[in-house]
Every structure is written in C-alpha cells, then in structure tokens.
Amino acid sequence: MNLTTQKKLAAKILKVGVNRVWIDPEHMEEVSRAITRNSIRALINDGVIKAKPVNGISSYRSKKNAEQKSKGRRKGHGSRKGAKKARTPKKQAWMSTIRSLRVVLKDMRANDEIDKTTYRKLYNMAKGGSFRSKSYMKTYAKDHGMLKETGE
C-alpha cells in the first residue's frame, strides 16, 4: 500500500519532514482513502497520523572521549594539531627548566656544597642557557672542581 502522497500532505500540514510522519498501522486503509488536505487534517485530529519527536544528539561518545582524554589517552601523534612548540611554548619549557635549576642551586648553597661566588657563577651560566638539566649542571660543577670538598 503506497502512502507517499498522504505522508507528503501530512508533513506539510504538521510542518515536519516526511520521515517524521507516523501513521497508525491499524488504520492504513482509512489513510489510503484520504486524498485531500481536510481528510488528512481530520486523521491528524483523530490521532491516526502524528509527528514523531525530534531525535536528540547523544553525548555519550563525547563524554567517553573527554573522560579518556582526562586520563591522558587519545593524545598520540594522530590527534595533535599544531607544532610541538605550540602545544607547550618555548617560554613555558624554559621557565620550568630555569626554576628547577635555581631551586637546585639554592639547595647546594644552603647545604654548603658551593660557596657564594660559585653560586653566582653557576646562576649566571644557568641564566645564559648553559645547562639543559639539573643533572647536567651538577656534573659540570663536579667536573670543573666547583664543589666544596666534604669530610676533610
């Protein structure tokens, strides 16, 4: 039984798309006989023809992905947009490096591993970008005999 004409008429009357028109399967004969707008309107009033509710967009997938990202997943090379320096700017990297170096220098000075002049020399070298890490700075100080002799 072809009800395309009736569906089109009902869609126009209900102001919805054709796919949202629902026709009661028990009243198919009655609907097939309705060929005018008035007869379709009467069937709508009787509840034989109805508009289906609008489908919502489920947020399940997006919530799940957000949860995964909060755990640190889904951040591989394929998900990255922008350069390495755009994701963590050069300045941010520099700040974290220099702060850790300065903390180590202060600890070394407080523990009498280095004296004031050595502290200032290493501090200025760190400021100039001579050291890439804490361990590199400590190795440099040891190799150049800047550490105080302990236990003598």
Overall fold of domain 4-51: 50s Ribosomal Protein L19e, Chain O, domain 1 (1.10.1650)
Cα distance from N-terminal residue to C-terminal residue, the chain: 106
Give alpha helix (H) positions in the chain: 4-14, 28-33, 37-46, 60-70, 84-87, 90-110, 116-127, 134-143
Predicted TM-score of the model (pTM): 0.53
Q: How far apart are CA 8 and CA 21, in angstroms?
A: 9
Give the closest residue to 37 by CA, choosing from 15, 9, 14, 11: 9
Report the top-level CATH class of 86-143.
mainly alpha
State the pLDDT confidence band at 150, using cuts at 50, 70 and 90: low
Task: Name the token pair of 61.
Answer: 């997938």
Q: pLDDT at residue 152 above 60? A: no
Please tell me the distance from the alpha carbon of residue 89 to that of residue 37, in angstroms, as a whole number: 65
The residue extents of the domains of the chain are 4-51, 86-143
3-class SS at 22? Answer: strand
pLDDT in tens, 81-139: 999 899 899 999 999 999 999 999 999 999 999 999 999 999 999 999 999 999 999 99
